[in-house]
Amino acid sequence: MRCCAGRARTGKFSGSAPQSVESCAVTAAPNSAPFPPARIRAQADRRRTFAVISHPDAGKSTLTEALALHARVIGQAGAVHGKGNRRATVSDWMQMEKDRGISISSAALQFEYRDTVINLVDTPGHADFSEDTYRVLSAVDAAVMLIDAAKGLEAQTMKLFEVCRHRDIPIITFINKWDRPGQEALALLDEITERTGLRPAPLTWPVGIAGEFHGVLERASGDFIRFTRTDAGAGIAQEERLDADAAAAMIGGDWDTALEEAELLELEGQEHDQDAFLAARSTPVMFGSAVLNFGVHQLLDALVDIAPAAGPRPDQDGNPRPVEEPFSGFVFKVQAGMDANHRDRLAYIRVCSGVFERGMVVTHATTGKPFATKYAQQVFGRDREVVDTAFPGDIVGLVNASALRVGDSLYVDRKVVFPRIPTFSPEHFKVIRAKDSSKYKQFRRGIEQLDHEGVIQVLRSDLRGDQAPVLAAVGPMQFEVAEDRMVNEFNAPCTLEQLNFSLARRTTPEWVSVLSRERGVEVLSRSDGALLALFPDRWRLAGVEREHEGIVLEPLVVSA
């Protein structure tokens, strides 16, 4: 969703926050005169592009809408498990998301706050969809990591920390659900230090134990920010700023405890260091409750003040492309089936340099062919808005981009190819077949679409034929999504049969005949041309490697 002055906004995303004309989508003729480099750099400096990541049910979608609420992009926040007058989260648009209270797809939202343009990408939290999260992290400059105050660092949280570490992505940590009983704040900081190696540097400190949340101590000013719950959390929480003396008189012992703990943090040297944060050695920490909108305003301010702006992106050879260079970007997600009224597919691109202008003709780096960007949108859930102009750091959805796949690069003038996005190694495999032979055309179209989006890997062989391709997934819930979409989106009822494989290794054509003779091993081809040998377990894999010296069985780049 794009918020611009002079443009009417309709539907559920309405607000009254003042907007800067400079941030608006400026209508321009395709391939018109270039924008001055200084203006492009200035616009890139205004961008903050980040993802919200964490373990399932930590509150990512809730935080996404709480941030939008505080920026006055929406009039009322939703909640996955809302009651009373709270609605379902807008970003969760799939029926399965609504039924299970989880995020399966990713949602992108753009809004302006304090003359800064925020590009916020909500991601799936469930481990079965970690591949989609990994792709999103390739397109952001920072991450907000949510930690449940009661559960601490969970398994999926640690996986995402490692992905961020691998990409040197700076992380702001938001300890969520402080309105409920949970662990001690100091214990959570110790856990972050011990398990991630990052040095936590709290910017705010909770006043009151978890479950008895009065507000936060703002460490930079020493002030007490008192929160008041309103409207079941559907509206912006009331905040009152008090000095230390007033806080002591109002709160008493909990305020004194917060001051003592803050002094301890100072003695331990747990102060914010901007260079250490940008180098991904330290993580600023904040406390709040996304469902009640407590601490969300402070998080927004931190994103503006300390999160990195859009900067030069390295190409596949490691050479950074300056933001003022001609347009370039890469595809990090392909999505279809978002609305029965929009039978199209969207390719989400991260603008890396230059200016994107709707209607411009760019070059598809993979094929070298021209690509016209006639239809471009920004999307949050099912809500869409046309994009005319976008700058480095922005996320744009190209409509009906059937030629584009995840990882593809686009450019104008000087060629650039950005690093490919690795594919996760699947661990679950099922054969899919059409229930009704008369629906085979719909069945085939559905399989091709799922494969194109990268929702699930599709493997084929001459032996099985197109009527019975193999679906390969990181997690079993991916099969549920695939089956649901085949039935409801493509009108192609299907059956899925579990295969006894748990490992995939990349091989080469000269080893296919050898592997095909091995008991319990099957070789199939992926749509990108890769040949994958499937094994039931690591012991069978080890046995084949012992029997055939020099055999090519390469692990896929990324493990889930």
Q: Which of 181-185, 284-288, 420-424, 524-528 has the lowest mean pLDDT?
A: 420-424
* Pairwise CA distance, residues 59 & 44, whole Å: 29
* Pairwise CA distance, residues 65 & 313, whole Å: 29
Question: 382 pLDDT band (50/70/90 cuts)?
Answer: low
Supply the mean pLDDT for the chain: 84
CA-based torsion, 537, 128, 182, 244: positive or negative: positive
Mean pLDDT calculated for residue range 502-515: 95
Give the range with max mean pLDDT: 47-61, 218-232, 400-414, 507-521: 507-521
Instruction: Answer yes or no: are the C-beta atoms of 145 and 280 closer than 8 Å.
Output: no
What pLDDT, on the 0 to 100 scale, is given for residue 127?
A: 58
Question: 231 pLDDT band (50/70/90 cuts)?
Answer: low
Q: For the chain, give me the number of helices (H) and strands (E)?
A: 14, 31
Give the range with max mean pLDDT: 22-36, 380-394, 458-472: 458-472
Question: 88 pLDDT band (50/70/90 cuts)?
Answer: very low
What pLDDT, on the 0 to 100 scale, is given for residue 107?
A: 60
- Using one digit for the tens of pLDDT, what is the confidence trace for 197-230? 999 999 999 999 999 999 999 999 999 999 988 7
Question: 341 pLDDT band (50/70/90 cuts)?
Answer: low
Quick one: which of 86, 155, 165 has its CA closest to 126? 155
| 328-336 β-sheet, strand order | 370-372, 361-364, 409-411, 328-336, 345-353, 395-399, 376-380, 383-386
Strands 531-535 and 522-526, bridge-based pairing: antiparallel
Q: How far is CA 538 from CA 429, 472, 548, 557, in A?
A: 16, 17, 16, 17
* Pairwise CA distance, residues 298 & 301, whole Å: 5
Query: Hey, what amino acid is at 485?
Result: R
What pLDDT, on the 0 to 100 scale, is given for residue 104?
A: 37
Question: 30 pLDDT band (50/70/90 cuts)?
Answer: very low
Question: 85 pLDDT band (50/70/90 cuts)?
Answer: very low
* Pairwise CA distance, residues 498 & 414, whole Å: 48
Give the range with max mean pLDDT: 102-116, 329-343, 463-477, 532-546: 532-546
Task: Centre a 10 Å sphere on the Cβ of residue 197 and count the other Cβ atoms it contains.
Answer: 11
Distance of CA 169 to the CA centre of its chain: 13
What pLDDT, on the 0 to 100 scale, is given for residue 11?
A: 35
What pLDDT, on the 0 to 100 scale, is given for residue 100?
A: 46
What pLDDT, on the 0 to 100 scale, is given for residue 459?
A: 95
What pLDDT, on the 0 to 100 scale, is given for residue 232?
A: 61
Residue 559 confidence (pLDDT) above 70: no
Find all residues with CB under 8 Å of 172, minimum gap 6, and list them.
142, 143, 144, 145, 283, 284, 285, 286, 299, 302, 303, 306, 307
Output the pTM of the full model.
0.80
Residue 97 confidence (pLDDT) above 80: no
Residue 2 confidence (pLDDT) above 60: no
Question: 337 pLDDT band (50/70/90 cuts)?
Answer: low
* Pairwise CA distance, residues 205 & 285, whole Å: 9
What pLDDT, on the 0 to 100 scale, is given for residue 312?
A: 97
- Using one digit for the tens of pLDDT, what is the confidence trace for 265-322? 999 999 999 999 999 999 999 999 999 999 999 999 999 999 999 999 999 999 999 9
